[in-house]
Amino acid sequence: MLACLLPALVLFAVFMVYPTVNVFRMSFYTWSGFSPDMTFVGLDNFRHLIDDKQFVRAFQNTVALLVVVTVVTMGMGLFLAAIMTRQKLRGRNFLRFVLYVPNVLSVVVIAAVFSAVYDQNNGLLNGTLRLLSLDGWQQVWLGNQKIVLYSVGIAMVWQSLGYYMVLYMSSMSSIPEELYEAAGLDGASNARQFFSITMPLIWQNLRTSLTFFIMSAVNLSFVLVRAMTGGGPDSSSEVLLSYMYKQAYTNSSYGYGMAIGVVIFVFSFLVSLLVSRATRREPLQF
Partner 1 sequence: MRRSFALAGTAVTALALLVGCSSGGDAGSGKTTLKVAALEGGYGRDMYTQVIKAYEASHPDVDVQLQISKSIEDEITPNMKAGKYPDVVVLGQGRKAALTETLVKDKALEDLTPVLGTKVPGEDGTVGDKLTQGVIGNLNTNPYGTDKTYLLPMYYAPTGLFYNQGLFEKNGWKVPSTWDEMFELGDKAKKQGIALFTYPTAGYLDSYFYALLADVGGEQFYNDVMTYKKDVWKTANAKKALDLTTKLLSYASESTVGYANEQDFTKNQQSILDNKALFMPNGTWITGEMADAPRADGFTWGLTTLPAATDGGKRYLTTSVESVWMPSAARNKDAAKDFIAYLYSDEAAEIFAKSNAIQPVEGIANSLTGESAEFYKLYEDSSVSALVGGFASTAPVQGVDIKATLFDTANSIISGDTTESAWQSALNDASEKLRQAGN
Q: Which residues contact partner 1 (rule: CB under 8 A)?
A: 30, 32-35, 37, 45, 48-49, 52, 54-55, 111-112, 115, 119-121, 140-145, 227-230, 232-236, 246-247, 249-253, 256
CB of 134 to partner 1, least distance (A): 19
In the bound state with partner 1, the residue whose beta carbon lies nearer, of 194 and 256, is 256
C-alpha neighbours within 13 Å on the C-beta side of residue 59: 17
In the bound state with partner 1, the residue whose beta carbon lies nearer, of 109 and 273, is 109
Q: Which residues fall within 8 angstroms of residue 240, CB to CB, at 6 or more apart?
A: 58, 59, 62, 218, 222, 260, 263, 264, 267
* Residue 40, phi then psi, degrees to nearest 5: -75, 125
CB of 110 to partner 1, least distance (A): 12
As a whole number of angstroms, the longest Cα–Cα distance in the chain is 75
Rounded Cα distance between 108 and 101, Å, is 14
In the bound state with partner 1, the residue whose beta carbon lies nearer, of 112 and 183, is 112
In the bound state with partner 1, the residue whose beta carbon lies nearer, of 37 and 186, is 37
Rounded Cα distance between 76 and 69, Å, is 10
CB of 245 to partner 1, least distance (A): 10
CB of 53 to partner 1, least distance (A): 8
Name the amino acid, one letter, at 151.
S
Per the omega criterion (within 30 degrees of 0), is the bond before 233 cis? yes
CB of 112 to partner 1, least distance (A): 7
In the bound state with partner 1, the residue whose beta carbon lies nearer, of 62 and 253, is 253
Angle in degrees, 0-180, between the axes of helices 18-26 and 254-278, rounded to the nearest 10: 120
Name the amino acid, one letter, at 243.
Y
In the bound state with partner 1, the residue whose beta carbon lies nearer, of 42 and 230, is 230
In the bound state with partner 1, the residue whose beta carbon lies nearer, of 4 and 278, is 4
Rounded Cα distance between 187 and 87, Å, is 17
CB of 285 to partner 1, least distance (A): 48
- Identify how many contiguous H helices and E strands the chain contains and give both numbers: 14, 2
> Quick check: 221 and 155 in contact, CB under 8 A?
no
Q: Where does 220-262 show beta strands of DSSP type E?
A: none
CB of 140 to partner 1, least distance (A): 4
CB of 102 to partner 1, least distance (A): 18
Q: Which residues fall within 8 angstroms of residue 73, CB to CB, at 6 or more apart?
A: 156, 157, 160, 161, 164, 213
In the bound state with partner 1, the residue whose beta carbon lies nearer, of 52 and 271, is 52
